[in-house]
């Protein structure tokens, strides 16, 4: 068995894991992703997502102050440094996803449906996820 060395080992191949691994590789880090699913299109929560990006039901592109307020209203015990990290990086995260090829649609006038992965996930019962929303994102 050969020894392999990595700068970063990511556990889980869902959206958080793959985004982390992708960005680390862009920064010239040697990355390994450990995923227990063995199928090419392994099941994970990201595949079942409807694909709506929002922060506490607020348009994800509303800006840092709007996000600070909406998070504060719903999460009164949230750690301030985490709140600020989410609020200050939301737009940059969406722009990065777009730069990686993700497409979005505006699904409705509702503030939390202005940034939805395309093609959007289905809203009917069942596991009809292939080729939609999070599956395409992955």
Residues 6+ apart with CB under 8 A from 86: 55, 67, 71
pLDDT at 65: 94
What span, in angstroms and rounded, lies between the C-alpha atoms of 131 and 97? 17
pLDDT at 66: 95
pLDDT at 126: 64
Pairing outcome for strands 31-34 and 54-55: unpaired
pLDDT digits (tens, 9 = 90+) for 67-111: 999 998 998 888 999 999 999 999 999 999 999 999 999 988 888
Greatest distance between any 2 Cα atoms in the chain? 56
Q: Say if residues 39 and 138 touch (Cβ distance below 8 Å).
A: no
pLDDT at 125: 61
What span, in angstroms and rounded, lies between the C-alpha atoms of 26 and 30? 10
Residue 71: strand, helix, or coil:
helix
pLDDT digits (tens, 9 = 90+) for 7-37: 999 999 888 898 899 999 999 999 999 999 8
pLDDT at 124: 67
pLDDT digits (tens, 9 = 90+) for 37-72: 888 887 877 887 888 899 999 999 999 999 999 998
Residue 26 backbone zone (phi > 0: left; psi -120 to 50: alpha; other: beta): alpha
Q: What is the pTM of this model?
A: 0.79
């Amino acid at each position: 068995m050969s020894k392999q060395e990595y700068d970063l080992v990511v556990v889980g191949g869902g959206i958080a894991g793959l985004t982390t691994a992708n960005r680390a590789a862009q920064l010239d880090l040697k990355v390994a992703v450990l995923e227990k699913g063995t199928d090419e299109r392994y099941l994970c929560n990201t595949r079942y997502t409807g694909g709506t990006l929002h922060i506490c039901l607020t348009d994800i592109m509303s800006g840092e102050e709007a996000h600070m307020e909406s998070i504060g209203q719903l999460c009164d015990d949230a750690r301030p440094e985490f709140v600020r990290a989410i609020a200050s990086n939301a737009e940059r995260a969406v722009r990065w996803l777009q730069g990686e090829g993700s497409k979005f649609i505006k699904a409705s006038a509702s503030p939390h449906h202005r940034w939805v992965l395309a093609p959007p996930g289905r809203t009917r019962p069942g596991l009809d996820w292939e080729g939609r929303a999070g599956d395409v994102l992955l």
